[in-house]
A and B are shown apart, each in its own frame.
Chain A
Amino acid sequence: MRLRIRAIQLRVKTPEGMCGADIVFQDGLVVLRAENSAGKSTVVQSVIYALGLEGMLSASQAVPLPHAMTDSIEVDDKKVLSVEESRVTVEIENGDGQIATVSRSIKGVANKNLVNVYLGSHLTSPDQGLEPTDYYVIEGGAAVSERGFHRWFAAFIGWKIPRVTRMDGSECPLYVECVFPLMIIEQKRGWSAIQARMPFHYRIRDIAKKSTEFLLALDVFETALRRQRLKEEALAIRAEWDQVAARISDVAKRINGVVQNLPEVPRHWTEEEAPTILISRNGGWVSLQDAIRADIQALTELEEREIPRVQQVAVEVETALNEAESDLAETEFATAELFNEIQSEDAQLSGIDERLISLQEDERKNVDARKLRRLGSVQQLEVDQGRCPTCHQTIADALTVEDDSEQPMTIDETLKFIRSQIETFGTIQKAAMRSVEAKKRRLGALRGHANELRANIRALRRTLVSEGSQPSVEAVERRIRLTERVNEERLTSDEVAEQFDALGDIAKRFKENQDTQDKLPKGDLSERDQQKLKRLQEIFISEVSQFGLTSVDPSTLRISEENYKPEHDGFDLEFDLSASDMVRTLWGYLHGLVELARTEQTNHLGLLILDEPKQQETKRPSFQELFHRASAAGANHQQVIIATSEEEQTLLPLLDGVSHQYIRFEGRILRPLNAPPVATSALSAG
């Protein structure tokens, strides 16, 4: 995996002719020198722009190039010309020695979101009659769609772009813009930290960590992604389970039934633990199956008897009427009682809800407090260490009035305490909800029973006043009602059985998901990953020692297994450093990745572009050591391009004995093209 910049061409069309610059790059260390504000950064930004990488700088789609390429250009005689059209073209080479030339318009009629790709060296040996193919950047899908430039580009450099998770849980490709901040460091904001500028606007979760994992080609990347996917699948399966469970509960509701023993987490059940539907009958609960059996038996008994004539049953009807009326009175009373009970339980339930909400708020605050504590210790607050900032005596971790007898819990203890309460109240809430729900079903059953009784009473009355030879209205209606009930119960039972089958299917998929999750490697880093990081650590320590890091003892530095950045005593190194050592650390880390790519399989492109690497912050020998170290790039088919405005008289001695290509600009980089050559390039074998 490799990318090398072979040549850059900048073209600006003005009313008075073309301006521009042509630069040819060699392998190995390339030092590009120009005065400040002469347009040195333009070269670096042009590479970013031509490769459609401006997304790594900001979310806005603004062209990341200076005035001289977009608006007006000042030529050397102080004359200002307006820019009519402009374009940047970059010739690149991949690890297989294939060459391509990419060209993108900056200003003018041509579409800025199109990149023309020539499959050959269109700059260094033009006139081959190459025809470009158009690809587009920026507009959605550049990374994935057929004509997307970054899809072509990733294939060209040999990257298999992995998928990553967004903040909202959806997936997207790890855009190439996320990885380049480890290989191209621009002057303005690239030097404040490792990965100082990351395209957070893509809303990719752990973007800095993920892109480093990809660059280092760590196995953990794949494992973590798979685990994430499985977890999301598990959530989806559980949601499906909950949906079916809710449907069963709805079906049961029709006959005032409640579902009993349905597992909350998808799983198979044995015969004994099988969930059942309970329905309220005569003040108690019976299973739906038993109720159906009883009802069918009653119906059969009714059907076996002939429907009696009124005169045959007059006395019984009278008794039945009395019984039904007193039964109705009792039922109505029970209904009212139960209704009150439900009301008061509902009130209790909302009390529990409130309690849970405030517990959850407390939990969040404690989690925040724990995080703040870390920030506080970075800021070296005394209260964070339990000391008074003024008198340095020990104080309690509380703002209550000092009272030694009351020792407050630590934040961690409090969190544990609150979480156990949340668990308890959560259980109470669930139990209360279930009980209220069942009572509501019973209320429904009671009301149904009351309605039945009223109908029955009406039928009995009509029976009493009808002619003696007529069949008993009450007996007919009872039969019809019972038939209807049996039908409804059977229908419900069938539907529930069908849904139970669906649950079995879901349980099976859930188990498969859990088994696969269990089989994933336990620790995050594979053995190969750990070795790779250890090697990076060795290289890093050797680099920063060579560059003269002094704030901390280099041998105590570690590469974190958490975020793959250098750390000291468990903290990101960046916090502990002087400005000059910060720069040395950045050099050591970024160049360390280049060196690591020589012996380990990574996705690093063997290309490092440093724009004005803050050498003023360090001592001159440090800068010299950076050149020394970087000059090994040539022998390894890598390329390290360092753009600097360091004075030539100090710069040249530093490059003494170092194999490099030196490109110097007199005055501005962009100049009229009929003028003498802009860049003089010298090769030195060191």
Chain B
Amino acid sequence: MNLPEEFEGARFLFRKQPVALPPDLRPIWRISVLLLILHRCCRQKRASLNKLHVLSWAIRTSQSRQTFLDVFNGVAHPDKAVIRFDPAMNRALDLVRGENLVQQIGGDHFQITAKGTALSGEIESDDDLMRVEKWFLGELGSNATETRIKKLMRLVT
């Protein structure tokens, strides 16, 4: 390669720069999403691993939210993936258990703890915070039962 004259004899140094990280992959973000899901959409504030995976995938982007709501309300989107399992979610679950925000009960179910309730209460008290996520979970409300999630998984798989 021919270099411009002013670079002749110059030494190049490459330095590693920190990489940009999508906000979904921040621990605190995913932890908060998890807590909100448990807090808003789950009976007895407990949910199965499957449900947590499905909802945390659905809540990610405006498209995934819309698609999920559509499918949930019976509008078919055969060309779109509604259910994905995100490995980051498993790590987030490890962290929330470590922080004692959520406890594991009966194998594959998770329940919010008192500490977790305190944090989700704080999140709930600021209307501006996680506005879109709250809206989405509000749309689902208590309709997103385990049974319906299971049905949904049969429907699309």
Contacts and interface: CB of A to CB of B under 8 A. Distances in A.
B98 A389 contact: yes
A372 B19 contact: no
A365 B28 contact: no
B29 interface: yes
Contacts of B101: 381
A372 B129 contact: yes
Interface in A369-394: 369, 371-373, 375-376, 378-379, 381-384, 388-390
A406 B23 CA distance: 16
Q: Which of A398, A399, A406, A407 counts the most B-chain CB atoms under 10 A from its CB?
A: A399
A71 B5 CA distance: 95
B99 A389 contact: yes
Contacts of A381: 28, 31, 99, 101, 119
B108 interface: no
Interface string B94-118: 1100111100000000000001001
Contact of A417 (B20, B24, B115): B20
Contacts of B132: 361, 364
Contacts, number: 105
B54 interface: no
B19 A369 contact: no
Interface string A353-370: 000011001101110110
B122 A361 contact: no
B25 interface: yes
Q: Which of B25, B89, B92 counts the most A-chain CB atoms under 10 A from its CB?
A: B25
A414 interface: yes
Interface in B116-134: 118-119, 122-123, 126, 129-132
A368 B129 contact: yes
A222 interface: no
A247 to B, nearest CB: 34
Given A388-B98, A408-B18, A409-B21, A379 B28 contact: no
Contacts of A346: none
Nearest to A358: B61
A413 B18 contact: yes
Contacts of A418: 20
Interface in A430-468: none
B11 interface: no
Interface string A398-417: 11110001111111011001
Given A399-B27, A409-B20, A371 B126 contact: yes
Nearest to A376: B28
A417 B17 CA distance: 12
Contacts of A399: 24-27, 30, 88-89, 91-92
A375 B130 contact: no
B20 to A, nearest CB: 5
A397 interface: yes
A357 to B, nearest CB: 7
Interface in B24-52: 24-32
A69 B122 CA distance: 37
Contacts of A390: 94, 98
Contact of B19 (A362, A364, A375, A409): A409
Interface residues of B, number: 39
Q: Which of A372, A378, A383, A410 counts the most B-chain CB atoms under 10 A from its CB?
A: A372
Contacts of A358: 61
B61 A361 contact: yes
Contacts of B29: 365, 368-369, 372
Which secondary structure dominates where chain B touches chain A? helix
Contacts of B98: 382, 388-390
B87 interface: yes
Contacts of B27: 383, 397-399
Nearest to B35: A372
**Interface range for A:** 35 or more
B154 interface: no
B147 to A, nearest CB: 29
Contacts of B142: none
A400 B88 contact: yes
A362 B16 contact: no
A368 B22 CA distance: 13
A549 B93 CA distance: 40
Contacts of A383: 27-28, 31, 95, 99
Interface string B76-96: 000000000001110110110
Q: Which of B20, B89, B92, B115 counts the most A-chain CB atoms under 10 A from its CB?
A: B20
Contact of A397 (B26, B88, B94): B26
B62 interface: yes
A375 to B, nearest CB: 5
A417 B92 CA distance: 25
B122 A378 contact: yes
Contacts of B25: 398-400, 408
B28 A398 contact: no
A405 B19 CA distance: 10
Contacts of B122: 375, 378-379
A376 B30 CA distance: 12
Contacts of A398: 21, 25-27
B129 A371 contact: yes
A200 to B, nearest CB: 10
A382 B62 CA distance: 31
Q: Which of B21, B31, B95, B100 counts the most A-chain CB atoms under 10 A from its CB?
A: B21
Nearest to B25: A399
B115 A407 contact: no
Contacts of A357: 62
A411 B119 contact: no
Contacts of B89: 399
Contact of A407 (B19, B22, B26, B32): B19
Given A365-B23, A369-B28, A397-B27, A382 B18 contact: no
Contact of B23 (A362, A379, A405): A362
B102 to A, nearest CB: 12
Contacts of A405: 16
A405 B18 CA distance: 9
Contacts of B92: 399
Contacts of B95: 383, 389
Contacts of B131: 364
Contacts of B24: 365, 399
Contacts of B91: 399
B62 A372 contact: no
A405 B16 CA distance: 9
9 contacts: A365-B23, A369-B23, A372-B129, A382-B99, A389-B95, A405-B16, A407-B16, A408-B18, A409-B19
Given A383-B27, A414-B21, 16 more contacts: A368-B29, A371-B126, A372-B31, A378-B122, A379-B119, A381-B99, A382-B99, A389-B95, A399-B89, A400-B25, A401-B87, A405-B16, A407-B19, A408-B20, A414-B20, A414-B23
Interface of A: 357-358, 361-362, 364-366, 368-369, 371-373, 375-376, 378-379, 381-384, 388-390, 397-401, 405-411, 413-414, 417-418
9 tightest A-B CB contacts, nearest first: A389-B98, A365-B23, A399-B88, A408-B21, A409-B18, A390-B98, A389-B99, A399-B25, A383-B27
